A and B are shown apart, each in its own frame.
Chain A
Amino acid sequence: MYKYDHIDQTLVDQRVIQFRDQVERRLNGTLAEEEFRPLRLQNGLYHQRHAYMLRVAIPYGLLSAEQLRTLALIADKYDRGYGHFTTRQNIQFNWVELEQTPDILAELAKVEMHAIQTSGNCIRNITSDAFAGVAADEYIDPRPVCELLRQWSTLHPEFAHLPRKFKFAINGAKEDRTVLLCHDVGIELKKNPAINNGELTADIYAGGGMGRTPILGSLIKQGLPWQVLPSYLTALLRVYNRFGRRDNLYKARIKILVKALGPEEFARQVEGEWAQLHNEAKQSKDNFTQAEWERVAKHFTKPAYQKLNTVSNEVILAATPETERAAFARWLDRNVKSHQIPGYASVILSLKPHGTVAPGDATSAQMNAIADLADQYSFGELRVTHEQNLVLADVEQTQLLHLWRAAKNNNLALPNIGLLTDIIACPGGDFCSLANAKSLPIAKAIQERFDDLDYLFDLGDISLNISGCINSCGHHHVGNIGVLGVDKDGEEWYQITLGGEQGNDASIGKVIGPSFYANEIPDVMTSLINTYVEQRTGDEPFIETYRRLGVTPFKEVAYKNNGKHSKGALA
């Protein structure tokens, strides 16, 4: 795990002092709210429906047990005893006081954390694969590049006030677990003997994003040597900073610029700018150096793994008491992932227990318990996933049963990873001032409706994503089933999209028709799922059945059995 050097530590400490001064000027009235707003946003501080919300960065999703304990402490001391893990590897505290935020930042700085650029029109927290460094399908550990780019983007002076927010994702595995194509810039790291002598290179995708106009990113550069990422990304951001639209908030994201110019023309402009940077004598000093790589990469070496043999699930289950075997087997199947190292596995702790308050929420007690589990079973480290769950990445297979029992005691062992109730949802209208509709009661109602684990198991992989507004923090566009809260004449309605997908075959879901009332949504889900069950062949996953049949059969049942528009909200 990356350890701050004195440069990183000095920077976050001085950032606390800077923000404390900004808060003081806000409180004594010399800094107007309108002018404070972008400053506080660049420190992750939102003003929400009921209170201030602080978003803390978890760069590329990596946390130490000590950091998690500090997050628990912050939840207890400054908030209401819980935190919310988001889809972009951040954690949010929903009930903080403006006056106390500098103190919270100081607590974070003590454990090498910060809230820098977790919001605002700047380069946001860079996200990556939660299984980086351990995934069996990984070809490059992306974390050294993530960390170098975290440093490069932190308080970057030229890009402090971009037209809109700017999100990077970086992937280095066969399977894309970062939703790469839905980012302003997606960086796919590769090592190909045919390119650059097999050295690490990057393919650059630009102009992806969800929100009002969902678009998948386009490939604009292939085989870029990793050393030149700073100058290439500078060129790309400079083109966006200078020519991205600023007249209309909704058309200011880079995806609109890339779409307006066309990916080829955008790539040409970036190339032109980059060629100039190449020509300038300073280019060589912008490059990342091997020394910097080594300084950073030494923190991402493998932990002290034991020399173990791989154990099959059959053997693990044979050693499990019969009373626990069936439940444990489910958990092994859904929540345990294969590992690069024999005898180890990665474990996903579900933050989506049925009937929970909100997907991705963890209480301070859970955070402390998870920190203990990380210490006991996984070298004191854990990861945050895009799906709002937590991962213990390096667990000895022979310890899985013990870990499962401990996780169960803390309500973290529901075997629903990748299933219908592993819902991605934004905080919605319960908290967020942007939301048009609530998302949490919808998630809860669906979890209550589909509470039978055997049935969920039988359904297999289905992603269900819920957003409370068009900004799509719940990433509904890439859910196999998406639910979007919309406002019509002051009432909350819900629009359904089908066919979205994250991963290598990423696609944007299509709206099936007019929206529904909140209390209709569980029935709509039942209709959609029943249709899938009737129509699927063998073990065909939901998305394949949808792609084979198209929207029509699903649409028909959704409106035949529902859509009566009887008024009513969920409790």
Chain B
Amino acid sequence: MNQKIIYFPKDGQPTIIANEWQVWDGERDEGGIPDLEHGLHKVLVPFHWWITHYKNADIIERANRGEIGVWFAADDDILKHADLIEEGKKLWPVVGAHFPIFRDGRSFSTATLLRDRFEWQGEVRAIGDVLIDQLLQGARVGFDAFELRPDQNLDVALKQFDLFSVVTQNSWRDQRATTAA
């Protein structure tokens, strides 16, 4: 995992902050969810894992403490689980959307649906194979936090957000510029 993330709130400036959330793939730790007593206290669990475990007492307890969020795989059809996601609004401080490889754009649509369809107000974090040149698109469709692949240069990444002062279509962050000079 990357120790730092880029946090870029909708009406704020992008900054580099410490990463408080570990992403769990649902496979390691045979006993279940990673140990949150030691190390990081907060974990993003796979949404498909949440579906089968969210009624467990210990999971409910941890979720109520704000220690659990979920991440959506690129092929998760979130529209099929609208009820769970509506309930999740009250439970998950952060949700993630995963890029299995940088050139897989499905999570751009996931983030759009979270913001537009579910009116998700909390943090939506890009995770996985997140590279510098995906940040602009990600920021526009609804991501406000980015855990970049650890080899990426965060200072170069931060500069990306200053590249464009105009856009030609509406998105979560901005409306298309329409005033002709």
B158 close to A (CB within 8 Å): no
CB distance B116 to A152 under 8 Å? no
Least Cβ–Cβ distance between A24 and chain B, in angstroms: 10
Q: What string of 1s and 0s marks CB contacts (under 8 Å) between A6-23 and chain B?
A: 111011001001100110
Query: Quick one: given A22-B133, A242-B77, A246-B104, are A5 and B109 in contact (CB under 8 Å)?
Result: no
| The residue from A11, A30, A31, A276 contacting B168, defined by CB atoms under 8 A apart | A11
CB distance A159 to B108 under 8 Å? yes
CB distance B178 to A291 under 8 Å? yes
Distance, CA A246 to CA B106, complexed state (A): 10
Name the A residues within 8 Å of B56 (CB-CB).
none
Least Cβ–Cβ distance between A37 and chain B, in angstroms: 9
From 149 to 167 in chain A, residues with beta carbon under 8 angstroms from any chain B beta carbon are 151-162
A565 close to B (CB within 8 Å): no
From 85 to 141 in chain B, residues with beta carbon under 8 angstroms from any chain A beta carbon are 102-106, 108-109, 112, 116-117, 131-134, 136-138, 140-141
> How extensive is the interface on chain B, given as a class?
35 or more
CB distance A152 to B169 under 8 Å? yes
CB distance B181 to A5 under 8 Å? yes
Quick check: which of B23-31, B33-41, B159-167 contacts chain A, the rest being far away?
Answer: B159-167
A285 close to B (CB within 8 Å): yes
| The residue from A14, A17, A21, A292 contacting B178, defined by CB atoms under 8 A apart | A292
| The residue from A10, A18, A160 contacting B137, defined by CB atoms under 8 A apart | A160
| The residue from A17, A157, A159, A280 contacting B163, defined by CB atoms under 8 A apart | A17
CB distance B116 to A161 under 8 Å? no
| The residue from B133, B140, B166 contacting A157, defined by CB atoms under 8 A apart | B140
CB distance B106 to A35 under 8 Å? no
In the complex, number of A-B residue pairs with CB atoms less than 8 Å apart: 106
B171 close to A (CB within 8 Å): yes
Name the B residues within 8 Å of A6 (CB-CB).
180-181
Least Cβ–Cβ distance between B41 and chain A, in angstroms: 33
CB distance B106 to A241 under 8 Å? yes
B1 close to A (CB within 8 Å): no
B175 close to A (CB within 8 Å): yes
Least Cβ–Cβ distance between A229 and chain B, in angstroms: 12
CB distance A285 to B170 under 8 Å? yes
Least Cβ–Cβ distance between B155 and chain A, in angstroms: 11
> How extensive is the interface on chain A, given as a class?
35 or more
A81 close to B (CB within 8 Å): no
Q: What string of 1s and 0s marks CB contacts (under 8 Å) between A25-57 and chain B?
A: 100001100010011000000000000000000
The chain B residue with its CB closest to the CB of A159 is B105
B153 close to A (CB within 8 Å): yes
The chain B residue with its CB closest to the CB of A160 is B137
B156 close to A (CB within 8 Å): yes
B177 close to A (CB within 8 Å): yes
Name the A residues within 8 Å of B131 (CB-CB).
35
A238 close to B (CB within 8 Å): yes
Distance, CA A547 to CA B77, complexed state (A): 46
Residue among B108, B136, B170, B175 with the most chain A CB within 10 A? Answer: B108
Distance, CA A276 to CA B119, complexed state (A): 13
Least Cβ–Cβ distance between A393 and chain B, in angstroms: 26
| The residue from B109, B132, B133, B178 contacting A158, defined by CB atoms under 8 A apart | B109
Name the A residues within 8 Å of B102 (CB-CB).
35, 38, 161
Name the B residues within 8 Å of A77 (CB-CB).
none
Name the B residues within 8 Å of A152 (CB-CB).
168-169, 176
Query: Quick one: given A161-B103, A282-B170, are A14 and B165 in contact (CB under 8 Å)?
Result: yes
The chain A residue with its CB closest to the CB of B102 is A35
Name the A residues within 8 Å of B181 (CB-CB).
5-7
CB distance B165 to A10 under 8 Å? yes
CB distance A241 to B109 under 8 Å? yes
| The residue from B117, B137, B165 contacting A276, defined by CB atoms under 8 A apart | B117
CB distance A155 to B133 under 8 Å? no
Name the B residues within 8 Å of A242 (CB-CB).
77, 106, 109
CB distance A25 to B163 under 8 Å? no
CB distance B180 to A7 under 8 Å? yes
| The residue from B103, B112, B170 contacting A238, defined by CB atoms under 8 A apart | B112
Distance, CA A155 to CA B167, complexed state (A): 8
Distance, CA A21 to CA B136, complexed state (A): 14
Name the A residues within 8 Å of B169 (CB-CB).
151-154, 156-157, 230
CB distance B104 to A157 under 8 Å? no
A121 close to B (CB within 8 Å): yes
The chain B residue with its CB closest to the CB of A30 is B153
Residues of A within 8 A of B (CB): 5-8, 10-11, 14, 17-18, 21-22, 25, 30-31, 35, 38-39, 121, 151-162, 230, 238, 241-242, 246, 276, 280, 282, 285-286, 289, 291-292, 295
Interface CB pairs A-B, < 8 A, 23 = A6-B180, A6-B181, A7-B180, A30-B156, A31-B132, A35-B102, A35-B131, A35-B133, A121-B105, A152-B168, A154-B169, A157-B137, A157-B169, A158-B105, A161-B104, A238-B112, A241-B105, A241-B109, A246-B106, A282-B170, A291-B178, A295-B178, A295-B180
Besides A5-B180, A160-B105, A282-B170, 16 new A-B residue pairs in contact (Cβ under 8 A), listed by A number: A10-B166, A17-B163, A30-B153, A38-B103, A151-B169, A154-B169, A155-B168, A157-B137, A157-B169, A158-B108, A161-B108, A162-B105, A241-B105, A285-B170, A292-B178, A295-B178
9 A-B pairs with the lowest CB-CB distances in the bound complex, closest first? A161-B105, A6-B181, A157-B137, A157-B140, A151-B168, A5-B180, A7-B177, A160-B137, A158-B108
